[in-house]
Amino acid sequence: MHEPVKEGLEDFLRENGSPEFAAHLEVCRECRGEVERMRELALALRVLRADKEMDPPTGFYARVAARIEAQSGPSFWSVFLEPAFGRRLMYASATLVVLLGTYLISSESSEPLAVSTTAEQYLVEENPAMGANPQQDRDVVLVGLATYNE
């Protein structure tokens, strides 16, 4: 197709185009044929045009909102509302409480031993003679307490 036709085609298809365009079509058989086919094609496409603008049935927005809701992924918090997950969470929490309780009880009963062990070690270091005679050991501890200054 020749340049003047390429440039003026849209105007021609809309409102018959310029006199130059028409003059070129008069003399150019090739362009005339192609322009005619393009005009037919443009008319054929109009079969897809709705006769008039139509509104969807009432309540359309509500249905769109429901579809959006259905297509939205579940939120993070909704996991906690699932019964199966909630039950598992409850069991896991109970197990954790039992484990923590056991640990605390066992660590509480062993702690005084550790303290006494440390106190014993301290007294032995301060008084190398300790441990030989229980009576003497008691006296050493009592003297230590009586002479203790903060």
Partner 1 sequence: MAFREIVERYQAKVYSIIFGILRNRNDAEDIAQQVFAKVYFSMGNFDFRSSLLTWIYKITVNECYDYLRKKRVRKLVYESDFSEEESLLMQNSEAAMDHRPAVDTQLAQRDFVLKLLAKVSEEDRNLMLLKEVEGHSVDELARMTGMNENTIKVKLFRARQKLLKAAQRLSRLPGAAPA
Alpha carbon of residue 77 to chain centroid: 11
- CB-based burial, 40-70: b 16+ in 10 Å, e otherwise: eeeeeeeeeeeeeeeeeeeeeeeeeeeeeee
- Nearest to partner 1 of 4, 123 (CB atom): 4
- Nearest to partner 1 of 3, 125 (CB atom): 3
Number of residues that bind partner 1 (CB under 8 A): 31
CB distance 41 to 12 below 8 Å? no
Residue 128 DSSP symbol? T
- Nearest to partner 1 of 41, 81 (CB atom): 41
Q: What is the spatial distance between Cα 128 and Cα 13, in angstroms, rounded to a whole number? A: 117
Q: Which stretch binds partner 1 (CB under 8 A): 19-27, 54-62, 78-86, 118-126?
A: 54-62
- Nearest to partner 1 of 1, 129 (CB atom): 1
* Single-letter amino acid code for the residue at 45: L
* Single-letter amino acid code for the residue at 84: A
Out of 16, 20, 22, 37, the residue judged to bind partner 1 by CB under 8 A = 37
52 binds partner 1 (CB under 8 A): yes
Q: What is the spatial distance between Cα 5 and Cα 17, in angstroms, rounded to a whole number? A: 10
Within 10 A of 1 (CB to CB), how many other CB atoms are there?
13
10 binds partner 1 (CB under 8 A): yes
Q: Which of residues 63-122 bind partner 1 (CB under 8 A)?
A: 63-64, 67-68, 71
Question: What is the contact surface with partner 1 in residues (CB under 8 A)?
Answer: 6-7, 9-10, 14, 34, 37-38, 40-42, 44-50, 52-57, 60-61, 63-64, 67-68, 71
